[in-house]
Chain A
Amino acid sequence: MIVRILGDRLYDVSDRDLPGIERLDTDMDTALKAGDEPAFSAALAELIAKVRSTASALADDDDRKSDLVIPPEGATLQEVRDILDAGV
């Protein structure tokens, strides 16, 4: 599964590590809905740390498309909400 962290790069996440990443994605979504900024920041930071430590980073010139996209490091709940609400 190819995952992009915005403002960072592409990572190849193995099937074995996917459930842990999806759990943090759910935490992020719950926090987003509840408007819980600290919980959101914590889930996002943990998610990014997990991807960086478990997945393999793809080369800079790799031009594959991603399957999943993670918000940029340090993004606030409001920033992410704005991106999702603004759409395309």
Chain B
Amino acid sequence: MSVMKRLSGIVQAKANKALDKAENPADMLDLTYEKQLENLQKVRRALADVATAKKRLELQANDLKTQADKLQSQAKQALSQGQEDLAREALARRATIGEQLEGLGTQHQQVDAQQAQLTQTSQRLSAQIESFRTKKETMKATYQASKAEAGVGEAVSGISESMTDAGMTMQRAQDKIAQMQARSAAVDELLTSGALPDITGSAPDDIQQQLNAASAQSDVDAQLAAMKAELASSAPEALPASSAGASAPAGSADDIAEASVETSDGAGQ
């Protein structure tokens, strides 16, 4: 059976159900008008909710992009240090972020579409309210003069259908907002659980710590190599003096090496 006919039956039935049954047409007109105003308020609130949800999505996407760029450069740095496993880890995390970003992008498009439909709905309702405000007074006057229904039923049922449409559009927008909030929460959860690195920048992430440790280690290696070369080129009689002179830097190199071990231990926790 025709989708359009079935949908029409559902919309008409919803619209009839939403109609305020009043004692007389004059009251029915006033009640319908009040409902229109309420309906418009709701649509405007839904529009504000969509804007808020969209903003959050955009901020999150920006954070994720920054993080993806950072992981990309960390992968390069790890590779240049010969740490292929670390580079692989950074790229794997970057891929996870890529998936999240793609999901956020799709949702952003959907929310854009909802925003456009709500904006359209809001404009249409405003125009209908404006026109019905004067029309209902004319209808009331006609009713009082002739006691004829004067097309009241027809007018309010059309308006009720329009409000039903607005209600369905709002419902759809709210569903999309809820889906979007669920995704935002999931991204937050991933970030805080450590499945993705901390993007607040408050603490160095574990990949950065390993990169720092490796670079500290290579500094130590370079210093040791330099000292060995210096010792080798020194005259044997100068040994005690230069070994005393070399003991301080050697000690501090040990400290650095220890600090690196601590840092990488800390990252493992």
By a beta-carbon cutoff of 8 Å, the part of chain A in contact with chain B is 3-4, 6-9, 22, 25-26, 28-29, 32, 59-61, 63-75, 79-80, 83-84, 87-88
Chain B residues, Cβ within 8 Å of A74: 110, 113
Q: In the bound complex, do residue B2 and residue A25 qualify as a contact, i.e. CB atoms below 8 Å apart?
A: yes
CA distance A79 to B113 in the complex (A): 15
Q: How far apart sit A88 and B126, CA to CA, in the bound complex (Å)? A: 26
Q: Kindly state the separation between the CA atoms of A21 and B154 in the bound complex, as whole angstroms.
A: 26
B16 and chain A: residue at smallest CB distance: A88
CA of A22 to CA of B61, assembled, Å: 42
Residues in B neighbouring A7, C-beta threshold 8 A: 117-118, 120-121, 165, 168-169, 172
Which residues does chain A contribute within 8 Å of B113, judged by CB atoms? 73-74
| Alpha-carbon distance A25/B7, docked complex (angstroms) | 11
Which residues in B have some Cβ–Cβ distance to A below 8 Å?
A: 1-8, 10-14, 17, 110, 113, 117-118, 120-121, 123-124, 126-128, 130-132, 154-155, 157-159, 161-162, 165, 168-169, 172
- Whether A9 contacts B132 in the complex (CB less than 8 A), given A63-B162, A70-B4, comes out as no
A29 in contact with B1 (CB, 8 Å): yes
Complex-state Cα separation, A58 to B165, whole angstroms: 15
Docked-complex contact B131 and A63, CB < 8 angstroms = yes
| A71-B117 CB under 8 A given contacts A60-B128, A61-B131, A63-B128 | no
Are B2 and A22 closer than 8 Å at their CB atoms?
yes
Q: What are the 10 closest A-B residue pairs judged by CB atoms, nearest first?
A: A60-B127, A61-B131, A7-B117, A63-B158, A68-B4, A69-B7, A61-B127, A69-B8, A7-B169, A88-B13
Cβ B130 vs Cβ A9 within 8 A: no
* CB pair A69 B110 closer than 8 Å: no
Q: Which residues of chain A come closer than 8 Å to B128, judged between CB atoms?
A: 60-61, 63
Q: Is B13's CB under 8 angstroms from A4's CB?
A: no
* Contact sample, A vs B, 9 pairs, CB 8 Å cutoff: A25-B3, A29-B3, A66-B11, A69-B4, A70-B7, A72-B169, A73-B113, A75-B172, A87-B10
CB distance B127 to A4 under 8 Å?
no
Verify B168–A6 contact, CB threshold 8 A: yes
Asked whether A69 and B172 contact (CB < 8 A) given A25-B2, A59-B127, A60-B123, the answer is no
Rounded to whole angstroms, the CA-CA distance of A71 and B3 in the bound complex is: 9
Interface-centre pick from B7, B12, B158 (highest chain A CB count, 10 A) = B7
Specify which of A3, A26, A74, A79 lies most central, judged by the most chain B CB atoms within 10 Å of its CB. Answer: A74
How distant is B115 from chain A, measured CB to nearest CB, in Å? 11
B8 touches A8 (CB 8 A): no
Select from chain A the residue with minimum beta-carbon distance to B17.
Answer: A88
Distance of A75 Cα from B120 Cα, bound (Å): 16
Query: Does A28 contact B3, Cβ atoms closer than 8 Å?
Result: yes
Say whether, besides A25-B2, A84-B10, A6 and B169 are in contact (CB < 8 Å): yes
B130 touches A65 (CB 8 A): no
Shortest Cβ distance from B118 into chain A, in angstroms?
8
B1 to chain A, nearest CB (A): 7
On chain A, the residues within 8 Å of B169 by CB distance are: 6-7, 72
Question: Given A8-B120, A88-B14, are A65 and B157 also a contact pair (CB < 8 Å)?
Answer: yes
Smallest CB gap from A64: residue in B: B158
For A3, the chain B residues whose CB sits under 8 A away are 4
Closest Cβ of chain A to B150, distance in Å, is 14
